Amino acid sequence: MVILLLLTAAAPAFFFIYDLWAITAAIFISLPFAFRKHRFPPAFMWILVFILSGIFVSARSFASFDSFTFILQSVLYAAFFLAGQELASRRKRPIVTVPIEALIPLAALAIIPFLFSGKANVNPNIVSSYAGLLFALLIVSPAEKILKYILGAAALAVILVNGSWTVLFVLGAAGILAGKKKYLPLIPLLAVFALALNPRSGMERFLWWGESFKIFAANPLGIGFFASKYYLAAPLGAAPNTLFVHSFFLQLLCEGGILCLIPLGFAVNIFFKNKRGGRYDFALYAVLLLGVMDLSYHITAHGMLGALIIGITLRPEDATHKCGKIYSVVFKTLFISAAFLSVIMFSNSRALARGAAFLFAGDARQAEKVFDKAFNYPAYPALLSAKAAAYSIIAEKEGLSDFRKRSFEFQEKALPAKNLKIPAYRDFVTARLTGNLGLLRNSCMEILFLNGIRPHS
């Protein structure tokens, strides 16, 4: 338990972007907790069903590497949900010293100022949404009131300085939902106020949300997690290109499909049935609303903290569920499998990074050797595009027709969304019609850029 709490406190320094090395480290750090004896609440069955459904969706996804990254995160989130339930089950005791639960927001808020430096290169809205979660955690923390006031004011100051009106709307709406129902009409007014303060952001969100329904309608069984970025690469009206739908739950809808939506719905229903009331309801509503309005939980720091808070806000179980032994076996098996898979995926991500360095330096032959040593599964569009680029350069320099053919084959596998509005696919189609390898490499670079792979990065 202590390990997970300290991991939560340190998360801002390591997990703001879903770097695979950080997820892998967190899984191995959390392994001892996973193998402890736990009481499994009713909602945990549906959490496990969600993860298992996500595994099925990921296995059949064109971007299974990207998708399994979220599965690794989900296994972590399940552990933090259990940790929250165990915190909730502790009996009340006199506070002689600051309890370890209060050290979470203290440590996390202490790290936040460093994220505003240019070197951190972190989107301020991401920092604000994390600060909003810390504010929710403070509300249910057993810390002294003076400490809550100081840290709560610091969290709100971060949100206000960044002008993150969506997060402020979420906190305001959560307060109303957890309070007297007669104030419910104020929620639409708060939404209008937040939209008026940043109309561009609001309109862009509406366009992205609309796109999520289109993706779901075309792929009701899901395309795989983190895969919507390949569909959202085309400009949508006035909205710029984006990697996320900017709504965690809508992104789960379009990426996980109906198979993941059903267990998620059952889990959320149990959350509402087992909520503890009062200040705990505020924290629960804040976590869920942030998932509706923002991308938050695709970022590991947010997901771990959000899962921990949900666990705290639900009534603790006096005894484990009657199927607790089965849940225990499934949970441990998932954790072991996640640890094993994370090592394979980390190896592939390193192969991509090393090979890309040679590729951008102009040594395509050395890049090709590195890429060919990587595992062929899970399917990694970025790695396929990098291989396609390397093979195209070799084909052009050495006149090898088989390398030319394979370069087009690799890039075709890396392009899931057959939409001519998407630059990467449009360039690929033109390159295939004209035989222009330079245009093919443009298509490859666009996929690499989507995955954060750039020269000198």
CA dihedral 76, 33, 321, 330 (to 10 degrees): 60
Q: What is the mean pLDDT of residues 28-52?
A: 90
Residue 95, pLDDT > 50, answer no
Are 267 and 291 contacting, i.e. CB atoms less than 8 angstroms apart?
Answer: no
pLDDT of residue 110: 62
pLDDT of residue 191: 80
Q: Whose CA is closest to 16, among 431, 383, 298?
A: 298
E strand map for 31-145: none
Domain positions in the chain:
2-321, 346-450
CA separation for the pair 26, 300 (Å, rounded): 10
CA separation for the pair 248, 269 (Å, rounded): 17
How many contiguous H segments (helices) and E segments (strands) does the chain have? 19, 0
Banded pLDDT at 119 (limits 50, 70, 90): low
Q: What is the mean pLDDT of residues 438-448?
A: 92
pLDDT of residue 18: 52
pLDDT of residue 232: 79
CA separation for the pair 6, 17 (Å, rounded): 19
> For 342-397, what is each residue's pLDDT tens digit?
999 999 999 999 999 999 988 999 999 999 888 888 989 999 999 999 999 999 88
pLDDT of residue 155: 86
Residue 331, pLDDT > 90, answer yes
Residue 94, pLDDT > 80, answer no
CA separation for the pair 248, 222 (Å, rounded): 15
> How confident is the prediction for the chain on average, in pLDDT?
84
pLDDT of residue 146: 79
pLDDT of residue 93: 46
Percent pLDDT > 70 in the chain is 85
For residues 276 and 112, the model is more confident at: 276
pLDDT of residue 13: 61
For residues 89 and 100, the model is more confident at: 89
Q: Tell me the H-state helices in 274-400.
A: 279-293, 300-313, 324-360, 364-372, 381-398
pLDDT of residue 97: 44
Q: Whose CA is closest to 403, among 386, 391, 389, 390?
A: 391
Residue 21, pLDDT > 90, answer no
> For 144-189, what is each residue's pLDDT tens digit?
777 788 888 888 888 888 888 889 999 999 999 988 777 878 888 8
Percent pLDDT > 90 in the chain is 41
CA separation for the pair 276, 253 (Å, rounded): 28
- Cis omega (within 30 of 0) on the bond before 378? yes
Q: What is the mean pLDDT of residues 4-30?
A: 72
Residue 28, pLDDT > 70, answer yes
Residue 9, pLDDT > 90, answer no
Q: What is the mean pLDDT of residues 78-99?
A: 69
CA separation for the pair 130, 111 (Å, rounded): 12
Q: What is the mean pLDDT of residues 238-259?
A: 83
Banded pLDDT at 76 (limits 50, 70, 90): very high
Q: What is the mean pLDDT of residues 401-417?
A: 89
Residue 432 CB-density burial (10 A; 0-12 exposed, 13-18 middle, 19+ buried) = middle
Residue 406, pLDDT > 90, answer yes
Are 49 and 331 contacting, i.e. CB atoms less than 8 angstroms apart?
Answer: no
DSSP conformation letters of 360-390: HTT-HHHHHHHHHTS-S-S--HHHHHHHHHH
